[in-house]
Amino acid sequence: MNDIVTAGILVIGDEILSGRTKDKNIGFIAEYLTNIGIDLKEVRVVADDEADIIAALDALRSRYTYVFTTGGRGPTHGDITADSVAKAFGVGIDLAPGFKIGNVIVMAGVPSIMQAMMDIVAPKLKSGVRMLSDTVRANAREGDIGGPLREIANAHPDTIIGSYPFQDEDKKPNTNLVVRSRDPEKLQAAMNAVKQMLADLNVLR
Amino acid sequence: MNDIVTAGILVIGDEILSGRTKDKNIGFIAEYLTNIGIDLKEVRVVADDEADIIAALDALRSRYTYVFTTGGRGPTHGDITADSVAKAFGVGIDLAPGFKIGNVIVMAGVPSIMQAMMDIVAPKLKSGVRMLSDTVRANAREGDIGGPLREIANAHPDTIIGSYPFQDEDKKPNTNLVVRSRDPEKLQAAMNAVKQMLADLNVLR
């Protein structure tokens, strides 16, 4: 079994922090990494400030297999991202977004360009065993199934069980239950337990 | 002149990191805070993991005036957010999202509920002098105005000048220039310099 491969994302940009621009990159990269078996563990958004960028970069790159950065002001202010990455690594580089140094992949902030860069870099990355997931609609309020769900989670340690409340088409509170695991048999066993629990609950009503 | 009031956001949720759910809260809170004169300085997204939540919370709450948290699994797993916040403060609390302890405001992850909570909490917050901004369309490529723009930025220290490239309706690379300042006169002076620079450039073409 492969090692678990992890990642952090560092989004750089005053315009994200001011709310002027709404980030579209975190969700895209998160989904992309999940699909290629890389676990995204943490995201940080910092200003276009060299000290802030370096501090966040150093925290993330020491902790995770890969760090993906997006954004940072472009040519106007001397490409602060490239400068900050170079300082964090203690090297002199003169590169635009689109490069990889050590375990850090520096990408553009414009979503279409960032996405093209992901397609180029992805085949070169070490990837882990893909996380699998399965979802069931509970037809129950989240609070009503919390107890039994916790028992199932405890009994199935190599799985992650999440509950996601939503309002259904009849405006009733409903819940999606998602089981995730890298092991298809363990995923199946936990999902079976979840479905049995839901069936039992419905009998009791 | 009031002090500058700062904030951090802590988004908690495996489902954001897996890409299953796309965050809509960061952009909303960022814009909201800008509008009430609070400077958002940093955002972190971490998993539904107590140690990760506490570490991020402690980093943010010691650094900024306020910390806003969103999400964290609900009743299913014993409301990990409330438990983690309580541990970070070393107190025993038994509260659902929607509470404020110290400088930390704990909010729900569901956007409509989170937004209602912001409206309730906002009037109780200390707020600073609102950041003002003005935008001009350069009708130029970002790279072509980087040099003169840097000179203007250096000559106007109490302003922040950002350039945001976009593709215009004729599919040409274009750039929005945004000047921000808390001081309306300094904002005006810097914007005048930017507009003069753009006018000079167009003469030269």
Are A27 and B32 an interchain contact pair (Cβ–Cβ within 8 Å)? no
Inter-chain CB proximity A73 and B46 less than 8 Å: no
- Joined together, the tokens standing for residue A187 give 């995923």
Average pLDDT on A22-32 reads 94
- Chain A environment of B164 (Cβ under 8 Å): 15, 21
Report the 10 Å Cβ neighbour count for A27: 16
Residue B15's pLDDT band (boundaries 50, 70, 90)?
confident
How far is CA A153 from each of CA A156, A194, A200, B17, B75, rounded to the nearest angstrom? Answer: 5, 9, 17, 20, 14
Q: Which residues of B96-109 are buried (b: 16+ CB within 10 A; e: fewer)?
A: ebbebbebbbbbbb
Q: ipTM for the complex?
A: 0.77
What is the average pLDDT value for chain A, to the nearest integer?
88
Asked if B26 and A47 come within 8 Å (Cβ–Cβ), the reply is no
The nearest alpha carbon in chain B to A76 belongs to B146
pLDDT(B2) > 60: no
Q: Which residues pair with A69 in a beta bridge?
A: A10, A106
CB pairs A-B closer than 8 Å: 157
Tell me: the pLDDT tens digits for A107-125? 988 888 899 889 999 988 9
Tell me the C-alpha to C-alpha distance, in Å, between residue B105 and each of A145, A181, B9, B80, B90: 27, 33, 10, 15, 16
Beta bridge partners of B71: B12
Instruction: Name residues 168-187 of chain B within 8 A of A (Cβ).
Output: 178, 180
> What confidence score (pLDDT) does residue A55 get?
95
Residue B1 has pLDDT above 50, yes or no: no
User: Of the candidates A26, A42, A74, which has its C-beta nearest B46's C-beta?
Assistant: A42
Q: Which of B71, B26, B186 is nearest to A22 (CA)?
A: B26
pLDDT at A202: 76
B47 touching A (Cβ < 8 Å): yes
Superfamily of domain A5-124: MoaB/Mog-like domain (3.40.980.10)
In a mutational test of the B interface, the residue from A28, A45, A163 whose CB has the highest number of chain B CBs within 10 Å is: A45
Tell me the average pLDDT across B8-18: 93
Instruction: Work out the pLDDT band at A75, boundaries 50, 70, 90.
Output: very low
Of B177, B175, B185, residue with least CA distance to B132 = B185
In a 10 Å sphere around its CB, with 0-12 CB exposed, 13-18 middle and 19+ buried, how is residue B4 labelled?
Answer: middle
Burial B39-50 (b: 16+ CB within 10 A, else e): bbbbbbbbbbee
How high is the pLDDT of residue B160? Answer: 86
- Residue A61: phi and psi, rounded to 5, are -75, -25
| 1.10.3470, 1.10.357, 3.30.1660, 3.30.1370: CATH of B132-204 | 3.30.1370
Tell whether A164 lies on the interface with B, counting CB pairs under 8 A: yes
Q: Is the pTM of this model over 0.90?
A: no
Q: Locate A183 and state its tokens.
A: 């092991």
Q: Which residues on adjacent β-strands are paired with residue A9?
A: A43, A68
Measured distance CA(B191)–CA(A55) in Å, rounded: 32
- Provide the residue ranges of all domains of chain B, joining segments of one domain with +: 5-124, 132-204
SS3 B54: helix
- Which value, to the nearest 10 degrees, does the dihedral of the CA atoms of residues B54, A163, B71, A107 take? 90
Helix (H, G, I), strand (E, B) or coil at A8: strand
Average pLDDT, stretch B50-58? Answer: 94
Task: Note whether A74 contacts B40, CB cutoff 8 Å.
Answer: no
Please give the distance of CA A98 from its chain centroid, rounded to a whole number.
20
Contact A30 B44 (CB under 8 A): no
Q: Which residue of B has its CA nearest to A39?
A: B18
CA gyration radius, chain A:
21
Looking at the complex, report in whole angstroms how far the Cα of residue A178 sits from the nearest Cα belonging to chain B: 10
The average pLDDT across B148-167 equals 88
pLDDT of residue A3: 74
Torsion-angle region of A73 (φ positive above 0: left; ψ -120 to 50: alpha; else: beta): beta
Answer with the residue of higher pLDDT: B157 or B10: B10
Our CA-based measurement puts residue B91 at a distance from the nearest CA of chain A, in whole angstroms, of 24
- Hey, are the CB atoms on A44 and B43 less than 8 Å from each other? yes
Closest chain A residue by Cα to residue B48: A162
End-to-end C-alpha distance for chain A, whole angstroms = 44
- Residue B160 contacts A where some CB pair is shorter than 8 Å: yes
